[in-house]
């Protein structure tokens, strides 16, 4: 089993390298091949010995440089789906392809390799480290992704500039407002140049003005960093900036 895993991991690493070369060589038009495809995905949890059907047949696509929102009431299954798209969990049934990689059947190790290199997360569980400055938080993400240390300084400074926080990069999270902390989280999530950025309720704790700022940062990074963003939200006021909104009710899109 171990040798197979190692070979599989090597194959994924090789695939990623090829994809990076392709990315540099060819500029993909926005509407070309999907970055991610979800086909007939179901997710069932066992709760107290009973099956709980949370996702009941989801189909969706994320295309390069799109801003896609998952909207729905609390408990409708948005976070469960986002976890699946990010390879943090696997479907009970159905298929998920990130580019050509079958997330539904890949090992945890292989999904982790893809995630580290090609995805960024703005999730509560990946929150800022409180004792590190904004700069050090972003740098940490480059270190984790295996980016050579010689590239860290310019990339951190570039990302802090993209989110409009160049003047505050040596502050620690508690010295920043909620909106500023969220912008540091965005800088941290995009520092290693992911293809896909996933955000779970990124405007949840923010007032409407700060939420609008975050959405404007998202639009800016889609343009300048060529990233695709998929986020969950309850907030009807930000839906208009989405390229596509999937409305979820009780584990299905309507
Ligand atoms: N690991 C798990 N085990 C058992 N049940 C789970 C698990 N994860 C999620 N659920 C259940 O699945 C349902 C959907 O949860 P999910 O967090 O995906 O909803 P959501 O739409 O993101 O809600 P919110 O907007 O409140 O975050 C809930 O009833 C939740 O209790």
Domain 2-253: which CATH class? Answer: alpha beta
Does any ligand 1 atom lie closer than 6 A to the CB of residue 82?
A: no
The pTM of this model reads 0.88
Report whether residue 47 contacts ligand 1, using a CB cutoff of 6 Å.
yes
- Protein residue closest via CA to atom 6 of ligand 1: 45
| Dihedral sign, Cα of residue 13, residue 120, residue 225, residue 32 | positive
Per residue in 149-173, pLDDT (tens digit) is 999 999 999 999 999 999 999 999 9
**Phi then psi dihedrals of residue 49, to 5 deg:** 80, 0
| Confidence (pLDDT) at 92 | 98
CA of 94 to the centre of ligand 1 (A): 19
Q: Which atom of ligand 1 is nearest to the CA of 72?
A: 21
Nearest residue (CA) to ligand 1, atom 1: 45
Q: Is the pLDDT of residue 1 over 90?
A: no
Sequence spans of domains, the chain:
2-253
Q: Comparing C-alpha atoms, which of 185, 113, 103 is closest to residue 145? A: 113
Strands 93-98 and 36-47: antiparallel
For ligand 1, say whether the CB of 54 is within 6 Å of any of its atoms. yes
pLDDT at residue 18 is higher than 80: no
pLDDT for residue 57: 98
Give 122-135 pLDDT, tens digit per residue: 987 668 999 999 99
Residue nearest to atom 17 of ligand 1 (CA): 79
């Amino acid at each position: 089993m171990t040798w197979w895993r190692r070979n599989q991991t090597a194959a994924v690493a090789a695939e990623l390298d090829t994809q990076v070369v392709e990315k540099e060589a060819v500029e993909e038009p926005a509407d070309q091949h999907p970055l991610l495809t979800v086909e007939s995905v179901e997710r069932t949890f066992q709760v107290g010995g009973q099956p709980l059907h949370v996702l009941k047949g989801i189909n969706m696509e994320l295309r390069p440089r799109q801003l896609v929102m998952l909207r729905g009431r609390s408990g409708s299954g948005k976070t469960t789906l986002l976890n699946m798209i990010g390879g943090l969990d696997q479907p009970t049934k159905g298929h998920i392809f990130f580019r050509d990689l079958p997330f539904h059947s890949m090992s945890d190790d292989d999904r982790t390799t893809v995630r580290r290199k090609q995805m960024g997360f703005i999730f509560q569980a990946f929150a800022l480290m409180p004792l590190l400055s904004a700069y050090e938080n972003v740098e940490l993400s480059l270190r984790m992704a295996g980016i050579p240390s010689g590239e860290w300084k310019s990339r951190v400074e570039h990302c802090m500039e993209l989110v409009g926080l160049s003047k505050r990069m040596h502050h620690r999270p508690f010295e920043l407002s909620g909106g500023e902390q969220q912008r540091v989280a965005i800088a941290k999530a995009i520092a290693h140049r992911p293809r896909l950025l996933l955000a779970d309720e990124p405007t949840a704790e923010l007032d409407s003005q700060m939420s609008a700022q975050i959405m404007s940062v998202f639009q800016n990074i889609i343009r300048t960093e060529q990233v695709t963003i998929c986020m969950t939200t309850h907030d009807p006021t930000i839906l208009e900036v989405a390229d596509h909104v999937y409305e979820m009710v009780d584990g299905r899109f309507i």
